[in-house]
Amino acid sequence: MNSMKYKRKLQLGALLGAMVLMSLGCKKMTEDHNTVGDPMLQKNLFEVISQNQSLTSFAKYLVETGLDKELISSKSYTVFAPSNESLILLDASIKGNPVKLKQFIANHITEELVSYTSSTPKKRIMMLNGKFNSIAPFSIESAVASQSNQYASNGILHTINMSVNALENCWEFIATNASAPLKQRTFLQSLFRNIFDPTNATIVGINPTTGDPIYQKGTDSVFANMFLRNVHDLRNESKHFTAFILADAGWDAEQAAYRKYFPTGTVDSTTFATAWNIVRDFAVDTLYTPSGLPDTVVSKFGAKLPINKNAIVSTIKTSNGYVYVMSALPVAPALRFTTRVIEAEKYAGSSVDRRSVTYFRDRYNDLSKKFYSDVLVLNHGVAMFNLRYDQAEIPAIKYKAYWVAVNDFQTATFTQKLGVGSPTATLLPYVNVVANAKGEVYLGEFTMTKYSPVLSFYLTAANSTANAANPLVCDYIKLVPSL
């Protein structure tokens, strides 16, 4: 060992020795020999583990997986080492598979220094395998420390009374585990495709009409899974999720119940649209344990899933949450098709670039007693000028439309309309916007005869170039399902 490395080890040993004193000041959990003068402080973690007769099995697996080299290095680690007794029943499928064995052993090692005291905060820490485990005072997951805070020159060793399995995450179980129901699993696997993503795209021009960027072909998409990208990334080990997967019969029943709401031009596309609009509600980024699972779970898209606990076929604990296999999970249309509120100032585009005369106003509505923000376009000089709003996953149902549009900038009444699908659509009429009316205004009712993965709505000004006749103003647009 060269002098520089030896000096560095002595410095780390002194630092860890100081940590020992702090730990003992809180609670004496170490053996009497674990002091600043302990010769173990001159040894690395692998040496300390190898000399512990109760950890010979763990030491052997460290060598087999090559992870002994990590614990010999100058990096700092905390090791939660299962005792020999706890490893006797290690599954043969893990012991006999080098990849699984390394994943398992790495699930007991972290680069975070964890010194146990009675006040150790409950938190999740990332292990060498990329998965996260929960720690609390003198425990990790369900394992309890039988000996804690054994310091080495490059970290801390805790001996635990049971091993901590490297579990699959929610996505690994749902989409790849052969024991997961086949039909929903197969559908989720089919969702890998090129998806529009301008994040790293090359801009080659600007649309002169709308001001939107024009991207170089091929640079504005990525190959990804629709569910992981648009719902929740169930692979994320640092977060917690609750997910549901339907047994095949339940999957078929739910599709049969919803097919009429997603008609398209072909049988295949109708089947896809139906399945997608069902499955996208089947995961939430909230941890619901079996004892804490509520009667209703609200999805990212506002659907209210009634949870019948008698329909739970099996419960799978994963590395980042829980998966519930359900025999059935029927959701009434009124619980899935929820009211949409479109904030008018958050438009996706305009028929002509009139940003110079577009105003975003912060106001107070003394009728609703609420503060709000709206959009106002004045003196734009364009007949039927419009702002566009894109809405995803519009089913074939009837909607009632409302808006709040406060004309507090002129005394003259003007008209504007909500165009459904196009700025000039006749599904809804032009509506008067009178001075100082601050209440919600009913615009009419319209029926969608086909499903639209994305449907554009347009706030359309009067067919006039006169400034007093063609303003646009709106706080929000509300679409209420009429089922």
Give the C-alpha separation, 133 to 169, whole Å.
Answer: 12
The pLDDT value given to residue 172: 96
Q: Are residues 352 and 237 in the same domain?
A: no
Domain total in the chain: 3
Query: Residue 264's domain spans which residues?
Result: 170-336
Below-70 pLDDT ranges, the chain: 1-38, 195-201, 204, 209-211, 218-223
Q: Are residues 60 and 192 in the same domain?
A: no
pTM of the model: 0.81
Q: Are residues 377 and 271 in the same domain?
A: no
Q: Are residues 348 and 472 in the same domain?
A: yes
The pLDDT value given to residue 26: 39
Is residue 165 situated within a structural domain?
no
Is residue 400 situated within a structural domain?
yes
The pLDDT value given to residue 222: 63
The pLDDT value given to residue 37: 58
Who contacts 285 (Cβ-Cβ below 8 Å, separation ≥6)? 232, 239, 240, 241, 300
Give the C-alpha separation, 202 to 217, whole Å.
Answer: 9
The pLDDT value given to residue 194: 72
Of 166, 167, 149, residue with least CA distance to 158: 149
**CATH label of the domain that carries residue 454:** 2.60.120.260
Q: In the numeric block, which tokens belong to residue 309?
A: 């606990």
Q: Are residues 180 and 323 in the same domain?
A: yes
The pLDDT value given to residue 41: 85
**CATH label of the domain that carries residue 142:** 2.30.180.10
Is residue 277 situated within a structural domain?
yes
